[in-house]
A and B are shown apart, each in its own frame.
Chain A
Amino acid sequence: MVTINGEQKDCAGMTVAELLQSMKLDPARTAVMIGGDIVPKADYGRALAEGDEADIIGFVGGG
């Protein structure tokens, strides 16, 4: 299991890019942290590992 934004999900082995796609998030509008560290956009091919704790922010417009 992987923790995504505090919720347990069965997505170990999925890449960050695939996870964003499944969440219908545009990678150009996201920030992804795994274990508190930012995942650079160039590394979105990285696979999520069992036990990873990921935080995903999908930014919306306005400011």
Chain B
Amino acid sequence: MVTEAEFAAAVDSRSDRPIYANMHAARIGIAGLGGLGSNIAAALVRSGVGQLVLADFDTVELSNINRQLYTLSHIGRRKADALPEILREINPFCAVTSHALRITAENCAEIFAGCDIMIEAFDDPVQKAMLVNTVMTQMPETPLICGSGMAGFGNANAITTRRITPKLTLCGDGVTDVADGVGLTASRVMICAGHMAARAVELILEENRSEST
């Protein structure tokens, strides 16, 4: 069994400076555990994030396997139950709190209380808008990272990270809509998830740098 000290040393050995302690102190909320949320969570636990708060009401289906972190053995399981198991296999030193429920404007602030950063990872655009409006209204001091536009087979470089306001980051190409029947595949969804996870890591390390100076 790997010890936490060994895991931390391995994370730090692949960084330009020790980051594990700061990563481990961070509490990140992820709303939606599909193609974006599952891949973002995996990236964050690999970087040593210490606490994750997850929420999704859905169960794993065969049609999810083309882009989501789950494997065939998870079909029929609740994503909120399956994802923490996968994450524990990657990094057992992350404390994962997982909620199998639908996030609403009424329960969001309570479920994600105490999170340093919020990540919107829904697939439905109405839910995406609901979460962004709710977090920015009810949790105005919490940085929020959201995703919009990662469907289709088009140019991977069209997916970008944009800082809309000091608290809001938007990742994606902004236009490709799965409702247009253009498809949704692992490659572009994982690029967007990578942008979102990278922004979260950047925020965690930026925050700790400014605190220490």
Are A and B genuine complex partners?
A: yes
A interface, CB within 8 angstroms of B: 28-31, 33, 36-38, 40-41, 55, 57, 59-63
B interface, CB within 8 angstroms of A: 32, 34-37, 121-126, 128-129, 132-133, 136-137, 140, 146-151, 164-168, 170, 172, 174-179, 184, 189
B contact residues around A33 at 8 Å (CB): 136, 164-165, 168
A31–B133 touching, CB < 8 Å: yes
B contact residues around A60 at 8 Å (CB): 125, 148-149, 151, 172, 174-179
A contact residues around B128 at 8 Å (CB): 29, 59, 63
Which residue of chain A has the shortest Cβ distance to B152 in the bound complex?
A62
Which residue of chain A has the shortest Cβ distance to B105 in the bound complex?
A41
B contact residues around A41 at 8 Å (CB): 133
Q: Can you spell out 27 A-B residue pairs with CB atoms less than 8 angstroms apart? A: A28-B126, A29-B125, A31-B132, A31-B133, A31-B168, A33-B164, A33-B168, A37-B165, A38-B132, A38-B133, A38-B136, A40-B137, A41-B133, A55-B164, A55-B165, A57-B148, A57-B164, A59-B125, A60-B151, A60-B179, A61-B123, A61-B125, A61-B178, A62-B123, A62-B149, A62-B151, A62-B177
A29–B175 touching, CB < 8 Å: no
User: How far, in whole Å, are A29 and B120 apart by their CA atoms in the complex?
Assistant: 14
User: How far, in whole Å, are A30 and B105 apart by their CA atoms in the complex?
Assistant: 15
Which residue of chain A has the shortest Cβ distance to B150 in the bound complex?
A62
Indicate whether A30 sits within 8 Å of B165 (C-beta atoms), given known contacts A62-B149, A62-B184, A63-B189. Answer: no
